[in-house]
Amino acid sequence: MSTPPATTTTDTSATAPRPKPDNHVIVIFGITGDLARRKILPGLYHLAVAGLMPEKYRVVGCARPSSKMTDEEFRVYAFNAVSEFASDKPSGKEWEDFAACLTAAIDPDDGPTGLSAVVGNAEAAIGGAVRRLYHLAIPPDAMHDVIRLLGAKGLNQNARVICEKPFGTDLASAQKLNGDLEQFFDESQIFRIDHFLGKESIDNILALRFANELFEPLWRRGHVRYVQIDVPETLSIEGRGAFYEETGAFRDMVVTHLFQVLGILAMEQPTSMAAKPLRNEVNKVFESLRILDPVTVLRGQYVGYLDEPGVAQDSDTETFIALRAWVDNSRWMGVPFYLRTGKCLAESRQIITIGLREPVMEIFPDQKDGNHPDADRLIIDFKDPGSIHADFLVKQPGPEMHLGQARMNFYYRDSFQEKNNLEAYERLLLEVMLGNQALFTRSDGIERLWEVAAPLLERPRPIEYYKKGSWGPPSVADVVAPHRWTLPE
């Protein structure tokens, strides 16, 4: 039994305009990489079309000498990337104005096409006070040389730096990377980016909890049986075998994405939505996370992974991970947090399930028979544009008292104009230019997560294999027992 979709009235009154970012020179390291092509360049163009870029700016694509580009080649490369991946296709004056702000540089090079010279020329062309932004869209082990280069050339002044995930590969490497950054940048200049935290639907978790007295009293151990964070993917590693061999599903997804979502879900109410109080509360959750027991973590690998280019023939890298985490504080003590993610699974979804406890008094016959194990749930689909669903029991029509499961639904796309949306990467790039660190991880937070993960990285369980298009290894059900995964629905 289902209810019709809920009707939502939306306040469409105008809001105050956002502040404009300072004038910027934006330098993208790893310009020929997949991330720059799919996300960064299309994101910057969309911000430009939306009128959210600085009044004056330059975008510098920085490449190694082996893959150097001229300014014109960079503009063609950017045009092709935006054409393929942006929601706004490049055309007319909008593209001409954006393309005029693109210039190429070579790293390392001390000549006229080197980074120092190109940045200097860009700042002179803009004139006045100009802020520098460095986007390190490169692997963790390549960041050290770039950070030292920026410091040695004095390019770290009046600058911010974006560090891509994974931020290190274990506690020691994260500490070393933090140490390198701290030599040349203050923590207020460092933005460790996680695009999951830029999602509108993740922000809506905070609104759902803290703006509605209906939900906040339930958000605790006395009312919650379990929490699931489930992010299956149908995609394979897509030719990134060498990268995936160095990371695996746990480093690639759990430390950098799913643990961050867990922090947002489990945090206490901050005093405001400003960066310091918000990140303080998230970090308290990380401090309360129990150290992982490798025995309780299921590692899987899809059949066929060993045939992927760049993958070792005896690789035990996991393409699937499922685990049970615990937040040992007064709000969540005893409530399991189930996390699952993997490649080549049956569906691509991003959902959170809050499983509520059953009533103490079971006065209806249907309750006692256990006919409705999936009632009393709040399901948050955080794959943008996002949705929220509440499952509960109602009386079915008729003379007898028989219960039926009903669902109330909220869909972002039905209630708000999607044209107002910024894709997660676009929003985070804008927040960096504005200097807002609320949606970015602090150094102590990321180091704590690697500390929680250390036993698993040191003593991983053997791999279990699963078929492409499945929901993981057969033993995945054991991770959540006596509960069950919401997916497949």
Residues annotated as catalytic are 257
3-state class of 232 per DSSP? strand
Q: Which residue type occupies 420?
A: N
> H-helix or E-strand containing 181?
helix 171-184
**Cα 230 from Cα 377, distance rounded (Å):** 15
The two most distant CA atoms of the chain are separated, in Å, by: 87
**Cα 286 from Cα 382, distance rounded (Å):** 21
Q: Alpha helices of 195-312 — where are they, by DSSP H?
A: 200-210, 241-249, 259-266, 275-288
Supply 396's token pair: 């079915």
Residue 419: CB partners within 8 Å, gap ≥ 6?
Answer: none
156 vs 10, 111, 181, CA distance in Å?
44, 19, 10
Q: Which residue type occupies 385?
A: P
**Cα 400 from Cα 402, distance rounded (Å):** 6
Give Rg (Cα) of the chain.
24
The answer to whether residues 424 and 260 touch, using CB atoms and an 8 Å cutoff, is no
Supply 375's token pair: 């009632």
**Cα 43 from Cα 435, distance rounded (Å):** 18
Residue 175, CB half-sphere, CA atoms under 13 Å: how many?
Answer: 6
Residue 307, CB half-sphere, CA atoms under 13 Å: how many?
Answer: 4
Relative to beta strand 57-63, strand 102-106 is parallel
Supply the DSSP symbol for 218: G
Neighbours of 21 (CB within 10 A): 21
Relative to beta strand 464-466, strand 298-302 is parallel
The answer to whether residues 357 and 367 touch, using CB atoms and an 8 Å cutoff, is no
Supply 15's token pair: 């809001």
Residue with tokens 């867990």, as numbered in its chain: 262
465 vs 5, 249, 344, 417, 476, CA distance in Å?
40, 14, 12, 43, 11
